[in-house]
Amino acid sequence: MKQPYFLKLLTLVAIALVFASVFPQYAQSSPPGEDIRGESTGGDSEDIRRMAPVADPIPAGEQKAIESPEPPEVKKSDAEAEAPSALKSGEAADGGVEEATEEEEIEAETETISDPLKPFNHLMFRFNDRLYFYLLKPVARGYKAVLPEKVRLSVKNALSNIATPVRFINCTLQGKLKSAGTELARFIVNTTWGVLGLFDPAKNSLHLEKAQEDFGQTLGKYGVKEGFYIVWPFFGPSNLRDTIGMTGDFFADPLFYINPHTDLGFVEVNTTYPTIGTATDKVNETSLTLGMYEEFKESAIDPYVSMRSAYFEYRRNQIKK
């Protein structure tokens, strides 16, 4: 029973890798064919765009940045440097260049996001939305009613403490040895003094801050492109790179290796504990942040686009750190 789950994960990674190799253009930030549309940024091109049934509408601002297709080996950080040069041609087509520096600054922030799976993603976004309102939120409210905040914060601390290897490994892989050391120190302090991680004296008394590193960020640091946007059911927004990262982190989770019945065989890992751990974490976290998702939806004109943009910006910022 346990093996198929593991196989599913492997299949997922395999599919992602195969997809990335078959459609390398999607594995980059810029989708193919966009340069054709991107060339006409004049006033009447808007009408053309409106008439043509575009399955995957990319904001006009994005199209500009896409104009100059970058070779695959160019690192992510160059995307920003590329934007202004791509902008000039767009500006010229637009007619006015009076506020060049100002506009340049505005456009420089323009992002390039590829979303070829939009119909699927949209569906998953709606699925997760319903999941939140009909299942997660009621469960989290009940949970909140039973457990005082202090207990719920301790649950959060303990789960985070267990997940130390994930952060430790990724700090090390990114060459952040000081952060890796901090993670190790935090684990030792919080597991002993913090009673199995229920409390966080490492932060509160010793000011040892947690290093929020994961495998997706590590891959990003090594220059792996983020790839297209994917919304996973249950897990929410992600992209190709972070999906692979998430799978990698799964295997760094010690809960995976708790198996009372068999030896620590690699293939015979037990998914029961990580599943319980993930579910508890989700409910616990929701109980601590009730109302936030509602506020997010309230503030957005198009919640799907808003979340997609926020996800990419947040991750890019995390990788820069």
Partner 1 sequence: MKIMKITKYLFVGLLTLLMSLALAFSSLAAGPTEQIKAKSDLVMKILNDPALQNRKEKRRELVMDVVEDMINWQEVSRRALAIHWKKRTPQEKEEFTNLFRDLLKRTYSEKLDIYSGEQIIYENETIDGNRAVVKTKVVNKKKGTEATVDYRMLKKGEQWLAYDMVIEGISAVNNYRVQFSEIIASSSYDALIKRLKDK
Binding stretches for partner 1 (CB under 8 A): 41, 43, 46, 49-50, 54, 57-62, 90, 94, 96, 103, 106-107, 109-111, 113, 149, 153, 157, 200, 203-204, 288, 290-292, 295, 298-302, 305-306, 308-310, 313-314, 316-318
Helices 303-320 and 118-131: crossing angle in degrees, nearest 10, is 100
Task: Compute the least distance from the CB of residue 193 to partner 1, in Å.
Answer: 16
- Closest to partner 1 by CB, 272 vs 318, is 318
| Rg (alpha carbons) of the chain, rounded to whole number | 22
Contact present, 235 and 214 (Cβ < 8 Å): no
- Closest to partner 1 by CB, 199 vs 215, is 199
Task: Compute the least distance from the CB of residue 310 to partner 1, in Å.
Answer: 5
- Closest to partner 1 by CB, 12 vs 117, is 117
3-16 burial code (b ≥16 CB/10 A, e <16): eeebeebeeeeeeb
Q: From the CB of residue 120, how many other CB atoms can be counted at a distance below 10 Å?
A: 12
Task: Compute the least distance from the CB of residue 259 to partner 1, in Å.
Answer: 32
- Closest to partner 1 by CB, 154 vs 218, is 154
Task: Compute the least distance from the CB of residue 203 to partner 1, in Å.
Answer: 7
- Closest to partner 1 by CB, 263 vs 302, is 302
- Closest to partner 1 by CB, 56 vs 78, is 56
- Structure token digits, residue 270: 């037990």
Task: Compute the least distance from the CB of residue 178 to partner 1, in Å.
Answer: 20
Alpha-helical runs (H) found in 132-207: 137-146, 149-162, 164-173, 177-192, 201-204
Residue of 121, 118, 107 whose CA lies nearest to 62 = 107
Contact present, 245 and 12 (Cβ < 8 Å): no
Task: Compute the least distance from the CB of residue 232 to partner 1, in Å.
Answer: 20
Cross-strand pairs, 239: 229
